[in-house]
Structure formats: structure tokens, C-alpha cells
Structure 1
Amino acid sequence: MNGKTSDSSSPSPDVWFNWNAIRVAADRPVPEPPYPGTFFDETLRDGLQAPNIRNPSLEQKLKLVDHMVRSGVTSADLGFPGSDPAALRTCVEIARHILHSSHPLSQGYAGRTHPSDINAICEIAQQVGVPVDAYVFIGVSPIRQYVEDWDVRLIQRHIRESAAECRRGGAEFVLVLEDAVRCTPDVLGHVFDVAIDTGVRRVTLCDTVGAALPSGVESLLHWSHQYFRDRGHRVGFEWHGHNDRGLALANSLAALAHGCERVHGTILGIGERAGNASLDQLMVNSHLDEHGHYDLKALREYSDYAASVLGVEIPQNYPALGRDVFKTSAGVHASAILKAHEKGNVLVKDAVYSSVPASHLGREQEVLIDEASGANNVKYWLTVNGYDSDNAAFVKQVLDKAKSGRGPLTDEQIRQIIANAE
């Protein structure tokens, strides 16, 4: 490969660069309007790269697409057609399914800056007769350049050639900058210059190894917005984040707040290493903050189906979607939920001890009865199940049984205790 660095034995200090160390001016303008962005579902591309993920069949992929659309996803990366002929055939079938189902889903497909990858993406557009976005990625950070023996001139050349290839093939070129979070302003400036020269309209900034802090996201986006603004070139930014430091959700929300038009994620945060930003958590947060409208009941169905076909177990305490996230056995919590229930307002009941309304996801607040419970736990159960909550004998016997056992009583056990007490 041409364009090797002059000294491959000793890296420059730039290989350790990270935008977390940059602080932008305190009087920086806030993008208007705030939170304009939508979400880009990477489940069928980046999500499937995880070693623990089961590769779904074509039929299952089509059902996953249906679930995406029902939950409110409007754009997605649907595969890597250049990886082999079978992958291309699968992507073509997905594109046909979207067309024939009249799904309002903007189609993206991933590829390297290799002509064969780009041609495969363009072939989807040509065979199916639909517009497609070519998400063409290339590593730009100094550490990637050092390891790969690349330089900026080589990167610029590949971007120019890829943009031209997309134009010839009829695909929209989206420039994807891998490891942008660890790319110096100097290198980014050279990359942005060639993006301007080739008329690029969309740029994806990637936190490929999950190295960013929210402050680094803010600094990178502010600097990047300003670079294009100063040169009079309108470009839409996208954000692609990973979760290696457990910050993918926070970083993605920061990217939205600072003007990204699309933010990428995968269902349940699946992906290589620690995974990607969790698409479902992004959608829940956006919906609750009224920055977008999503069908959270359909999202729950999407996550359940994805878990089953991809071989993923949803943790019991997983935000919004876990089995136990709307359950409590603490007496003080049960008392508040009981009082809220008696007021007859579902939203109040949902909110008194939860920031995520269970009803939005087709669930209810659940009060368990175990060794940590008090009388109000039993009274709540009796109330919602149509029994006399003032019956002291019922309350005492259920509590006695709970205190002597391990783990919460089941509904069947409680009914049996009440039957024996009557």
C-alpha cells in the first residue's frame, strides 16, 4: 500500500491524542434546534459482529426490520454486502422486503473504501431500484495510521476515490471516520478539506473504541461544526459510539444535544467487545424527554424478539426492559405505590417510584411480598387482586409466610394462604 509513514518503529506523541483533553470556549453557540436528531439502527451490521451473537436467518432479519419500523426507527444499517456474495444477496432481499412492505426506512449499507465494497452497495440500489446510503468507513486516528502504515495523503485519496465511485453507482456517500475521537485537529482538518472538495454532505464521527467522555464529544462536535461553518459548507453529522467505558449512552445523548442529525445504536447494546450504544435506551430517553416519538410497547416486542433470535439474555435489571425493573419489595416503596394506586391516577402510580412509566411499555408496577416486605406490600396485593385489604388475618398470615421463606411469594401461594385463612 502506498503512503507509508517515514518511521514505523517509533510512534509520535499524537498516537495518544484524545478529544477528552480539549476544552472548547465557554461561550460556544448551542446548535439550534436542540436534539434535532434521529436514530440509526446498527443491529444488523455492527451488532452482529459480537462473538456471542447468533447470526439470524434471512427470515429472522426481515422480522427484525419489521420490528424496527414498528417501534419508530426510520433509518438503519442493514448489512455489509461487500463481505461476500451471500451477504450481497441477503442485503438485496432485505431491500426488496422494505420496498414491498412500504416501510418508511432509510436504507444504509456499510463498506470499506474498497471499490468492490462500494460496488456491492451500489448494486443493491440498481437491482432493487431504491435509494441507498453507502456508509464508507476509514480509520483516521494517528494510532491507526501508525499501525496500518498510512498517512493523510493516502486517506484523502481513498476518500476522493470512494466519493467518485458512489456517484458513478448511484449511492449517497456517507463518510464514516473511524476512531475520530482519537484523531488530532490537524488530521481532521485535512480529512474535512477533502470532504468539502468532494461535496460530502454527511459525516459520521466514530468513537470506535469507546474512549470518549461526554465533554470530549462536545468538544469534537463543536470544533467540527465550526470547521465546516467557517468554510461555508453545510454538512450533517452523525455519531457512532461504543461502550468500552460504559459511557456510550451518555456520549450519544451528548451528541444529540450538540447537533448530530443521526445517532447510531444497536438493540440491547449488542456489538463487539463491550457493545454499542443501546438503541432502546436512546429511544426511551428521547421519548420521555419529548425529543422524539417512539412506540415503547413495540420497542419491548423488538427487544424480546431480538434477544430470542440473537441468543442474548436481557439482564433482569436492564433499564426499561429488564424483568425486574418495575418490581419492588421494600415496604416504604409499597406504601407510596399503594397510596398512588388509591388515587386512581396511573401516571402518578407509575412515577412515584420510577422515572420510566411501566404503562408506556405495557407493564405495571409490581409490589412483591418477601422477607423484606411490610403490611403495605400485602395490602397492595390484596387491593389490586380484589380482596379485602383491611382483613388483618389475611395480612398477618401472608406476612408470616413471607418472613419464614426465601424469595418472594407467588400469586398462587398468596391465594392459597388466603383460602386457608378464610
Structure 2
Amino acid sequence: MQDKLIIFDTTLRDGEQSPGASMNREEKIRIAKALERLRVDVIEAGFPAASGGDFDAVKAVSQAVGESAVCGLARALDTDIDRAGEALAVARRSRIHTFIATSPIHMEHKLRMTPDQVVERAVAAVQRARRYTDDVEFSPEDAGRSEEDFLCRIIEAVIAAGATTINIPDTVGYSLPPAFGAMIGRLRERIPNADKAVFSVHCHNDLGLAVANSLAAVMSGARQVECTINGLGERAGNAALEEVVMAVKTRQDAFPCDTGINTQEIVPCSKLVSSITGFPVQPNKAIVGANAFAHESGIHQDGVLKSRETYEIMRAEDVGWSANRMVLGKHSGRNAFRTRMRELGIEFEAEEALNEAFARFKDLADKKHEIFEEDLQALISEQIYESEAERVKLIALHVCSDTGETPRAQVVLKVDGEEKTSESEGSGVVDATLKAIESLLATGASLLLYSVNSITTGTDAQGEVTVRLERGGRIVNGLGADTDIVIASAKAYLNAVDKLLSSAGRKHPQVADV
């Protein structure tokens, strides 16, 4: 019988650390349910001690998820571990993931602790975590730059203290596959009680080697990979779940293990994460990119028509790409709408919420002929945002763009219940619109990113706009969708502004003081 490769998804925790990718409670629940449909083994839902919002989100995910284990991150501090234990108390299956840095540079300059003190702290953290759950994971942060003898010492100690998973992170994405795989093999051989724990890896993608390093570790005996949907994560991101899973599935001749992932949910989950975070998937991205199974070369097309296997090593249908899907339109009824939303993992707790969503769907159907699942995801994201963000709302927008004339925009906003109007000129109607909004709100924020993507095909497609703002060191992401790209731009800017006005900052677990 083949070994089980455990898939540990950290999209909701490490993935959220991407600048601008912060998710609210409801968005985390939607992604968690999608991950559960994907049959992810462990969902790292957040860092409960970081803020009250993070605590509530981890607790909400714990309540919403039934099959996957829910994990909370905690530094090797009693307060962090207790907070994680409280947030996970309602989970059917829970895990506490505690960590402390083990490299000489981190111990000396960041922790200001001796190696003996670090071992003592790590052991105490694992023992405290065991008060809340039997499933405890320990990570020696910056393991790639740690001394191997010290790694062996601290790992042996935490396994003896009750750690059931040992995660070796390539924190700065510096490792190379042969060396990283060999290190995992040596640790498993050198540590006397290594057989009492599952070895895991968490690789960053700074050199584009996160997936390669993860797979090299699997070949050397690691049986858990920590990864994210679309490779989302801070800096260059993490190992992409879809690439790890499909590499193992496709190359069963090489890997002595397999996952329990429902691969047909990969593409839907990818689209959901992209929609919520505002991080579009590049067209040539492996597995989930729009061109992943496209063939333009005549030679390739001829080969695929004769036999798919000539140029395709996977079936598009196996990862969730399919042309056979129900397309909704303005004549579709409430039951078809509810059924399609349920297939996308979206359930309406109240009839009022369903009625509002159905009304929005009908309005959209009057603007475009066919409604695809990407349109529905955007529709729900917008509904959730508007139900929470009442401080700033777009009431009306008028723009003028004549050849040879300076573009102008007039906006009417409702700010804390009061209507306000402003006009502005710009280099284009979008520029004029955003300047008019800013003149009313005076946020003082810097625009770091303005990006437009077509949600589906056709000239009547909705445009999805991503806006990234920075103020006082805080970075937020705003999303807006509409068949009119100027309106979508205004919605995205207001979405981001509302987050600046109403959201508290969040600690970053790797830079917070220990």
C-alpha cells in the first residue's frame, strides 16, 4: 500500500500575508469550504494571537469545517498557544502549529536567546499545546540556515515532548532541490525518534524552486507538504498546491505516495481564491492557467486531435476544466440559480440573502447574455462587501470623454449616511473618477496597483478591477466588478478605501516580537 502524502494548505494564513491579500471572516469561510471540497487534509486558518479578527476567523473556520483538520499558528509563547487552543476549541479536528527560530543569526539577533533556551522554549510550547490537542506540529524557523546538529537536537526533544509533525521550512527560499531533499533524508536517519512523527516541508518560492524543493523532500521521506492555492504567499509565494498534487498524481511511476485530493475541485478553488484576493492567475500558470491546456501550434493541434496523449500529460477535466457546465441567463429561475450556487459551495443562510443575490443576478443578466461561474463568484463577493461596508457607497457616477477634450467625472457618494458630490478632470475617465473620489474622502493613500481583468470572454464580459492602496505602512486590496469598467474601477477604489477606514492592522507572525 502506498504512503499517504498529507496536504497542508496555508492559503488562509501564509497566503494571506501577500500584501493586499487580507481576507475577512466570511471570505475565509468560503475558501475553507472550498478547500474541504478539495479534500485538503489540514487547513491552517490563521494566527489567532495576531488580532481579534484573526481569532474570530480561525474560530469561524473551525465551526464551518467538518472533515479537514483546522490548524492555528502560534509562536512558542504560552499566550499564543492558549489563544490558538481557545480558537480551535470548537473544531471537530484541530492542530496547533508552533514555531521558533533555530538559525544562529535568528537566535542571536532576533530572539536574543541561547541554543539551550531555544530548546527549552520549544519543548515547553509543545507540551502546552498538547493540553489542547493531540495533533501538534513544530517548525524550526529558518531551518535551511540552521546548524544540522542543533536541528537534530531540538527536533528529537520536541518529538519526545509530544510533537506529531515536524515541519522543515525553507523560510527564505534559498535551498536547492538536491541539497534540501538530502537534508530531509539525513534528519530522518539521524534523529532516533524520527519514526514517531511525520516530516513536513514548507518551501518559499524566492528562486522559483518551492515545488521542486517540496517534491525532492517527498522523495526523501517527507509525508506532508505545506502549500497554497495558486502559490499565493508573501514575497514570491509558496509551493503551489495544484502543482505538487498533480506532479505526484501524474508521476505515480516515480513517487511512492499519493494524496487524497479531489483534483476536479482544483480549478474552481483556484478561481475562488483569485477572485477573493484580487491576485489574477497568469495565463501560462501550470494546471490552473487559462492556457494550461490550450494548443495553438499546428503540430500540437494535429497531434492532440489524433491522440490527446501526444501533447497532454493530464486531462483538463481531471483538474476541473470543463466545457459541460450549466450557463445561466436572464430566463433562468430561482431554483436553477440556487442549485448552481450550491454547486459552487455557496449556501444562503437566510431567504433574504438568496433574494438579494437573485436580484443582483437578474440585473447582471440584463447586461450580459450568459452568466458563468466566475460572474457568480464576483457577484457574491460584491454582495458580502456591501453588506459589511456601509461607510462609503457609490450612489451615482457620470463621466465625459470627448475626442480633443479633457475627460471629466462627477461622483456622488454616501459617506457615513451623508451624500457628497465631487467633480474632477483626469488623463482618462478612470483617472478622473478616482481623483473625484479621493477629493471627497481625502484618504492620503498611495495607489500601488491598478489592474483590469476580464472575468469571462466576450465584449459584454464583466471587468474585474483590482486596486491596491498604501497608507502609513498598511496595504489593502480592493475589488470591483461590472460590465462598465469605469464603474468597476470606482467600486474597487471604494472597497479598498473602506478597508483603510474600518479595518485594524494585523501583526505579521514572522516579524512580531517574541
The normalised TM-score by structure 1 is 0.71
Q: Which structure features the higher share of helix residues? A: 1
1:303 corresponds, among 270, 278, 285, to 270
Q: Does 1:62 align with 2:20?
A: no
2:378 aligns with none
CA, structure 1 residues 337+185, in 2 after alignment: closer, same or farther (shift >3 Å)?
closer
Counterpart of 1:159, as a letter, is A
C-alpha distance in structure 1 between counterparts of 2:98 and 2:169, whole Å: 12
The equivalences for 1:16-27 within 5 A come to none
Q: 2:313 aligns with which of 355, 363, 387?
A: 355
1:253 matched to which residue of 2?
A: 215
Q: Partner residue of 1:202? A: 165
* Aligned match of 1:147: 109
Cα separation, partners in 2 of 1:199 and 1:169, compared to 1, 3 Å: closer
Structure 1 residues 91 and 362: alpha-carbon distance in aligned structure 2, compared to 1, 3 A threshold: closer
Q: Distance in 2 between matches of 1:72 and 1:87?
A: 23
Question: Does 2:143 align with 1:180?
Answer: yes
Pick from 214, 233, 238 the counterpart of residue 177 of structure 2. Answer: 214
CA distance in structure 2 between the aligned counterparts of 1:199 and 1:363, rounded to whole angstroms: 43
Structure 1: how far apart are the matches of 2:195 and 2:273? Answer: 40
CA distance in 1, matches of 2:235, 2:49: 23
Query: Counterpart of 1:354 in structure 2: which amino acid?
Result: E
Q: What TM-score results when the alignment is normalised by the length of structure 2?
A: 0.59
Change (3 A) 1:196 1:56: closer
Q: Which residue is equivalent to 2:200?
A: 238
Q: Which residue of 1 aligns with 2:15?
A: 47
Measure, in 1, the Cα distance between the counterparts of 2:194 and 2:85: 29
* CA offset digits 1:301-335 (Å, max 9, x no partner): 00001100011110010111111222222222222
SS state at 2:281 partner? coil
Question: How far is the alpha carbon of 1:224 from its aligned partner?
Answer: 1.0
What residue ranges of structure 2 are gaps of 5+ in the alignment?
Answer: 253-257, 324-456, 460-514
Instruction: Report the Cα offset of residue 170 of structure 1.
Output: 4.1
Identical pairs, percent: 26
How far apart, in 2, do the equivalents of 1:216 and 1:65 lie?
A: 34
**Distance in 1 (alpha carbons) for counterparts of 2:194 and 2:33:** 40
Contact preservation (8 Å) 1:34, 1:258: no
Say which SS state the counterpart of residue 248 (structure 2) adopts. helix
Counterpart of 1:91, as a letter, is V
SS in 2 for 1:39: strand
Q: Is contact 1:122–1:171 with CA below 8 Å preserved after alignment?
A: no
Map Cα deviations across residues 238-259 of structure 1 (whole Å, 9 max, x no partner): 1111001111001111122222
Per-residue CA distance 1:119-167 (angstroms, 9 max, x = gap):
01111343x1644211001111122123223221121121122123223
Q: Is the 8 A contact 1:125 1:170 kept in 2?
A: no
CA distance in 2, matches of 1:162, 1:222: 26
Give yes or no for contact 1:67–1:299 (8 Å, CA) kept in 2. Answer: no
Question: Residues 328 and 93 (structure 1 numbering): CA distance in 2 closer, same or farther, change over 3 Å?
Answer: same
What is the letter of the counterpart of residue 221 of structure 2?
G
Query: What residue in structure 2 maps to residue 22 of structure 1?
Result: none
Q: 2:279 and 2:458 mapped to 1: Cα distance? A: 28
Matched, 1:317 2:275: no
Aligned to 1:328: 295
Q: For residues 321 and 126 of structure 2, what CA distance do their matches in structure 1 show?
A: 48
Task: Assess, with a 3 A threshold, how the Cα gap between structure 1 residues 233 and 320 changes in structure 2: closer, same or farther.
Answer: closer
| RMSD (Å) for aligned C-alpha atoms | 2.3
Partner SS for 2:130: helix
CA shift, 1:201, in A, is 2.7
| 8 Å contact from structure 1 (residues 287, 294) kept in 2 | no
**Aligned-partner residue type, residue 217 of structure 2:** A
The corresponding residue for 2:410 is none
Name the aligned partner's letter for residue 44 of structure 1: L
**1: CA distance between counterparts of 2:287 and 2:275?**
18
Determine whether 1:272 maps to 2:234. yes
Q: In the aligned structure 2, how far is the partner of 1:163 from the partner of 1:294?
A: 29
Give distance in 1, aligned partners of 2:6 and 2:79.
30
2: CA distance, partners of 1:35 / 1:224 = 19
Matched residue type, 2:310: V
Partners of 1:141 and 1:224 in 2: CA distance: 16
Distance 1:304 1:78 in 2: 19
What is the one-letter code of the residue matched to 1:296?
A: T
Aligned equivalent of 2:5, options 29, 33, 37: 37
Contact kept, 8 Å, 2:19 with 2:234, in 1: the verdict is yes
Runs (4 or more) in structure 1 with deviation over 4 Å come to none
Q: CA deviation at 1:34?
A: 6.7
Tell me the alpha carbon deviations over residues 340-378 of structure 1, each in whole angstroms, 9 at most, x when there is no partner. Answer: 1xxxxxxx32x211223223234479xxxxxxxxxxxxx
Give the drift of 1:81.
Answer: 0.5
Q: Say whether the 8 Å CA contact 2:188–2:194 is kept in structure 1.
A: no
Matched residues in 2 for 1:198 and 1:360: separation?
42
The aligned amino acid for 1:156 is V
Are 2:81 and 1:118 equivalent residues in the alignment? Answer: yes
Report the CA distance shift for 1:248/1:198 in structure 2 as closer, same or farther (over 3 A).
same
1:85 corresponds to: 52
SS of 1:328's equivalent in the other structure is coil
Please give the per-residue CA displacement for 1:32-87, whole angstroms capped at 9, x wherever unaligned.
x776322100000010011142x222222111111112122121111111112222
Q: Please tell me whether the aligned partners of residues 287 and 293 of structure 1 are also in contact (alpha carbons under 8 angstroms).
A: no
Question: Is the CA contact (8 Å cut-off) linking 1:286 and 1:293 kept in structure 2?
Answer: no
Q: Which has the bigger relative contact order, CA under 8 A and spacing at least 6?
A: 1
Shift of 1:95: 0.6
Asked if the contact 1:152–1:190 (Cα under 8 Å) also holds between the matched residues in 2, the reply is: no
Task: Report if the CA contact (8 A) 1:34-1:257 is conserved.
Answer: no
